């Protein structure tokens, strides 16, 4: 049965969800307070990452985070503040960062990433789009033996999880995958399961496609209130209008908790700021990589190479910290001989806010407190990777179909 559905949020999660909802025959309206040209979905590394099976809430992250708090250029930073939601999130993160929970989440993260990669390939094969997509794998470059050992431990975990990983300990082995870049590394761990894209290709194409299929795209419109009667949302009220609806999808990223509070729901999410620098000249980089010591992602995209990194838990703001931009540029110079990111390139750096749940898993599903609300938020650094998988799972929920995956690990009401 066709339903009238409002999707709040026009990032990769909201658009992917709208794509599958309209295919199922639903009438879809997407509302976003931006103009559909900015945000985390436009400044990310464009990775599709089945290899990233260990969540952000990993053992040791609390200790490491405390050490990094005193380093203005560290790749992970948590700004302490007396805010009840932040303090509750931090406590939940601490409880989630244990070996047992991380081990249990590995197959969950693997399966949703593999599903999403296959769905991306299905969208590409539909011939409705012309976006950049390559399945070349991912290189995890390291410069020290200690980090190399740690990365290979993760590689061995991936092998046990049924993914393919190789430990490349010579430049000869590395050059089989990256023949042209001038690298300054000791070795790498290579995963062949990963793919990459250019977000600024995909997002406008998806908006254009959805419009052509009758999806209503409402830009620069902010949701101000939600009318609820007997645990059912009846109206979405924005600064420009009021919309009746049968179902609502909340895909507002880091802003999602601001809206759930209006419904008496509490989903712990903190905004994690990430930065990107685009280099629009030849770098000779042909394969996506992560520079492990610096935790910087490198992606060859359409017409440029993107360097992206940092996780800055600092509330909802878009303030650019020059020290973190410089840290990304310095990492590029350290790992790629002769690669100097210019001052003008650094000045063009942008940031986006990634919605982080305490346990590293997104929220996908209906809360018991609202019968016609489906939440799709909290994807952290895997938002781009998990767009299509989230979209099809939400569509299956709303269409009363058997979900492609077990949804219990993603339940919005789960306890931490």
Q: What is the pLDDT of residue 57?
A: 72
Residue 82: domain span: 4-410
338 Cβ neighbours under 8 A, 6+ residues apart: 182
Is residue 68 within 8 A of residue 47, CB to CB? The reply is no
Residue 102 lies in a domain: yes
Distances (CA, A) of 328 to 68, 291, 345, 346: 15, 10, 12, 9
Distance CA 197, CA 405 (A): 24
Residue 309 lies in a domain: yes
Residue 248 lies in a domain: yes
Q: Which residues pair with 394 in a beta bridge?
A: none
CB atoms within 10 A of CB 339: 20
Q: What is the pLDDT of residue 70?
A: 66
Is residue 308 within 8 A of residue 43, CB to CB? The reply is yes
CB atoms within 10 A of CB 353: 22
Burial call 236-272: b when 16+ CB within 10 Å, e when fewer:
bebeeeebebbbbbbbbbbbbbebbeebebebbbbbb
- CA atoms within 13 Å, Cβ hemisphere of 44: 29
Residue 416 lies in a domain: no
- Cα 158 to the center of its chain, rounded Å: 20
Domain count, the chain: 1
142 Cβ neighbours under 8 A, 6+ residues apart: 148, 151, 185, 186, 187, 188, 189, 292, 293
Q: How many residues are listed for the chain in this entry?
A: 416
Distance CA 74, CA 142 (A): 17
- CA atoms within 13 Å, Cβ hemisphere of 48: 30
- State the first-to-last Cα distance of the chain, in angstroms, to the nearest integer: 36
Residue 100 lies in a domain: yes
Local confidence pLDDT in tens for the 416 residues of the chain: 899 999 999 999 999 999 999 999 999 999 999 999 999 999 999 999 999 998 877 777 666 666 666 676 777 778 888 889 999 998 998 889 888 998 999 999 999 999 999 999 999 999 999 999 999 999 999 999 999 999 999 999 999 999 999 999 999 999 999 999 999 999 999 999 999 999 999 999 999 999 999 999 999 999 999 999 999 999 999 999 999 999 999 999 999 999 998 888 989 999 999 999 999 999 999 999 999 999 999 999 999 999 999 888 888 999 999 999 999 999 999 999 999 999 999 999 999 999 999 999 999 999 998 999 999 999 999 999 999 999 999 999 999 999 999 999 999 999 98
CATH of the domain at 318: 3.50.50.60
The CA R_g of the chain, rounded to the nearest whole Å, is 21
Is residue 21 within 8 A of residue 5, CB to CB? The reply is yes
Helix axes 383-398, 99-125, angle to 10 degrees: 80
Angle at 333 (CA atoms; ends 325, 147), nearest 5 degrees: 90
The bridge status of strand 270-279 relative to strand 4-8 is unpaired
Distances (CA, A) of 217 to 29, 38, 208: 6, 15, 10
Residue 415 lies in a domain: no
Q: What is the pLDDT of residue 65?
A: 67
326 Cβ neighbours under 8 A, 6+ residues apart: 73, 346
Is residue 187 within 8 A of residue 166, CB to CB? The reply is no
Residue 335 lies in a domain: yes
Distances (CA, A) of 253 to 32, 280, 284: 11, 29, 34
343 Cβ neighbours under 8 A, 6+ residues apart: none
- pTM, two decimal places: 0.96
Residue 64 lies in a domain: yes
């Amino acid at each position: 049965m066709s339903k009238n559905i409002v999707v709040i949020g026009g990032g990769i999660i909201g658009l992917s969800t709208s794509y599958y909802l309209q295919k199922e025959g639903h009438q879809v309206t997407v509302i976003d307070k931006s103009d559909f040209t900015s945000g985390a979905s436009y400044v990310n590394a464009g990775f599709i990452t089945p290899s990233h099976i260990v969540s952000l809430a990993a053992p040791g992250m609390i200790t490491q985070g405390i050490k990094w708090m005193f380093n203005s250029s560290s790749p992970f930073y948590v700004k302490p503040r007396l805010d009840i939601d932040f303090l509750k999130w931090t406590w939940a993160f601490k409880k989630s960062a244990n070996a047992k929970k991380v081990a249990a989440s590995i197959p969950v993260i693997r399966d949703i990433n593999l599903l999403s990669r296959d769905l991306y390939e299905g969208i590409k094969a539909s011939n409705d789009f012309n976006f950049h997509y390559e399945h070349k794998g991912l290189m995890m470059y390291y410069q020290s033996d200690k980090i190399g050992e740690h990365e290979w431990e993760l590689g061995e975990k991936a092998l046990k999880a049924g993914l393919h990983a190789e430990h490349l300990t010579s430049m000869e082995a590395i050059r089989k995958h990256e023949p042209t870049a001038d690298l300054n590394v000791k070795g790498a761990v290579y995963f062949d399961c990963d793919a990459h894209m250019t977000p600024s290709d995909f997002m406008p194409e998806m908006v254009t496609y959805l419009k052509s299929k009758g999806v209503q795209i409402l830009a620069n419109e902010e949701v101000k209130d939600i009318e609820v009667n007997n645990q059912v949302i009846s109206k979405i009220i924005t600064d420009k209008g009021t919309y009746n609806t049968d179902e609502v999808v909340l895909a507002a990223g880091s802003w999602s908790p601001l809206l759930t509070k209006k419904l008496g729901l509490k989903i712990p999410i903190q905004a994690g700021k990430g930065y990107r620098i685009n280099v629009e000249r030849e770098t000779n980089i042909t394969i996506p990589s992560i520079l492990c010591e610096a935790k910087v992602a490198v992606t060859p995209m359409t017409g440029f190479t993107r360097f992206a990194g940092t996780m800055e838990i600092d509330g909802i703001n878009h303030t650019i910290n020059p020290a973190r931009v410089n840290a990304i540029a310095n990492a590029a110079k350290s790992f790629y001989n002769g690669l100097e990111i210019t001052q003008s390139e650094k000045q063009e750096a942008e940031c986006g806010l990634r919605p982080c749940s305490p346990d590293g898993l997104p929220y996908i599903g209906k809360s018991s407190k609202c019968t016609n609300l489906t939440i799709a938020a909290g994807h952290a650094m895997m938002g781009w990777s998990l767009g299509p998988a989230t979209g099809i799972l939400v569509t299956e929920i709303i269409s009363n179909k058997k979900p492609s995956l077990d949804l219990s690990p993603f339940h919005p009401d789960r306890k931490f």
